[in-house]
Amino acid sequence: MTAIMALCCSELWRGCTQAVTLEVKEGNSTCIKAELSALLFITYTTFNSTSNVSTSLPDSTSVDAASSSCGAAGRPPWLVAVFGSGHALGLSFAKNGSFYSITNLTVQYNLSDTSLFPQSNGSGVVTVVSSSVGIWAPINTTYRCASPTTIRAGGAAITFSAMRLEAYMPGNDLSPTESVCAADQTTTTTAPPTPTTTAAPAPTPPATPATGVFSVTNSSGTVCLLAKMGLQLNVSYVSQSQNKTVQELVNVNPNLTVTSGSCGGTTASLVLTQQTTTLNFTFSMNSTTSKYHLSGINLLANWSDMTAPFSASNTSLDYLRSTLGRSYMCNTEQTLLVVPAFSLNAFRLQVQPFGVTSSQFAAAEECQLDQDQMLIPIIVGAALAGLVLIILIAYLIGRKRSHAGYQTI
């Protein structure tokens, strides 16, 4: 694994935003490449109150070879960058159908670094994780977002800008075909004398959606599908009032939702209708393997500010995979990519579209994200421990050599 730095400023690294190029390699092949600027903002406690510090990735940042991975041996693709005195930034990737995405962002910061955290009343490494990243692109394309994108994790926030990124790369260079983030998408107005271009603002996240319990019954009145989840729609559309593309996050309110659907031997559907919005889930089961998954999502929306009704559909998805006779559960927030203009954020999710008995969920199979939440601190912590050990050994060797230069007279 290698890291290459391209500096955009000559100041000291704290508070200075600079472009960094990071590559994860397997042999001579590059599988992950990221060009970005990143500014970290961290709140920590001091002996008397709380304090804030901001810092960017320095030119000494390197990709940790032991923790980074192209996804072999059942591990997800990982890019782990280490910098400063025991700090790290990790990005975990996954792909579903024709899309890839960042599934987890991990930040580790060392409160024992007094140059960065003066008067901290804590010590040691703090790990925070966000699984609500919202960065994705079609396979074999480069994700590009010049606009600032802020992701919050615990007491930390990281703002990316000037980002170009690709995972599952077929070659060693970023694809010339780009998937542009919603904030960079522009609409040119025709007002005289000169057309103007306006970028769409990033959406303001609403409160976490309430968890609803939804069920579908068959012709005999027996519950055949169960779902418990909080849902948030992430939609990009052309605004009538602003005459440009905007990105909006809308929570699904379980108390205002009408539930319908159907159950079959190998296909089941859950339809949620809330005023001018209809969300349709389609589940499919393989009768040979007794495995089921979410195979399709369809959204129809006609909101007041839309220039035209919004429609998005994808029937080749592969989400929420589980086994007949069990439910699928994921407490970690996850983003289900549908099309570039629409994704669905799911919270505290449990679903069983087949084999429901006594109107109760069966034993659950946990999602990989829940399992990764436990693995991430262990992997990155081990990498930092190895880095500290290397520094200690180098210090002892250097000290021994310096003593060797003195002779007794």
CATH code: domain 20-183 is: 2.40.160.110
Burial of 293 (0-12, 13-18, 19+ CB in 10 A): middle
For residue 254, the tally of other CB atoms under 10 A from its CB is: 19
State the Cα–Cα distance between residues 343 and 96, nearest whole angstrom.
Answer: 13
Same fold, 20-183 and 212-368: yes
Q: What is the mean pLDDT of each run of 10 residues along the chain (409 residues)?
A: 38 52 91 91 87 85 89 83 92 86 90 90 89 84 88 86 92 90 59 40 68 93 96 92 90 92 93 90 95 94 86 90 95 89 93 95 85 58 73 76 55
pTM: 0.58
Residue spans per domain, the chain: 20-183, 212-368
CA 50 to chain centre: 28
Name the 3-class secondary structure at 343: strand
CATH among 3.40.50.970, 1.20.1260.10, 2.40.160.110, 3.40.50.10420 for 212-368: 2.40.160.110
Give the three-state DSSP class for 185. coil
**Upper half-sphere CA count for residue 115 (Cβ side, 13 Å):** 9
